């Protein structure tokens, strides 16, 4: 069997510097959070229907082979999300408004890692 050409990892950087899977809006953060919580690639594709199964496998494989780099990226994203969250909490005019935002976030099932 002749070796095939090297395939590109289906990750792209958007205008904000966020890594997204393939041509979708799904972020690397979201895929890896689901995987880290025990979801299989098939379950991840079921949850985020716009993803291709091969892309999810490729992204997870890449992340496992480049663990330090991916963890560094994810930690940077987590820190930015934490800072934004703290800024919003500090500037929120009322406690009720903040509680409403947190309830909306919880209702939508968004993770702290952020997409």
At 73, is the secondary structure helix, strand, or coil? helix
Q: Within its chain, how far is the Cα of 10 from the centroid?
A: 14
Q: Is residue 29 part of a domain?
A: yes
Which residues contact residue 51 at a Cβ distance below 8 angstroms, ignoring those fewer than 6 apart? Answer: 21, 22, 24, 26, 31, 44, 45
Query: Which helix (DSSP H) or strand (DSSP E) does residue 30 occupy?
Result: helix 28-36
At 35-48, the pLDDT tens digits run 999 999 999 999 99
CB distance 33 to 2 below 8 Å: no
Residue 18 lies in a domain: yes
Q: Which domain holds residue 26?
A: 8-65
- Mean pLDDT across 64-83: 96
Cα–Cα distance measured from residue 51 to residue 30, given in angstroms and rounded to the nearest whole number: 12
**pLDDT of 109 over the 90 cut:** no
User: What is the pLDDT at residue 92?
Assistant: 58
The pTM of the whole model exceeds 0.75 = no
60 part of a folded domain: yes
Q: Per-residue pLDDT tens for 82-94?
A: 998 888 777 656 6
CB 44 within 8 A of CB 51: yes
- Counting the structural domains of the chain, the total is 1
Query: Between residues 75 and 104, which one has the greater pLDDT?
Result: 75
Does residue 19 register a pLDDT over 50?
A: yes
Q: Quick check: is 45 in a domain?
A: yes
């Amino acid at each position: 069997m002749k070796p095939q050409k090297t395939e590109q990892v289906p990750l792209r950087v958007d205008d904000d510097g966020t890594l997204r899977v393939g041509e979708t809006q799904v972020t690397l953060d979201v895929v890896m959070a689901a995987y880290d919580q025990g979801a299989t690639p098939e379950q991840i594709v079921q949850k985020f229907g716009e993803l291709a199964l091969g892309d999810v496998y490729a992204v997870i494989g890449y992340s496992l082979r480049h663990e330090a780099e991916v963890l560094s990226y994810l930690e940077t994203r987590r820190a930015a999300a934490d800072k934004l969250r703290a800024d919003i909490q500090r500037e929120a005019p009322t406690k009720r408004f903040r509680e409403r935002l947190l309830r909306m976030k919880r209702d939508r099932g968004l993770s702290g890692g952020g997409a």
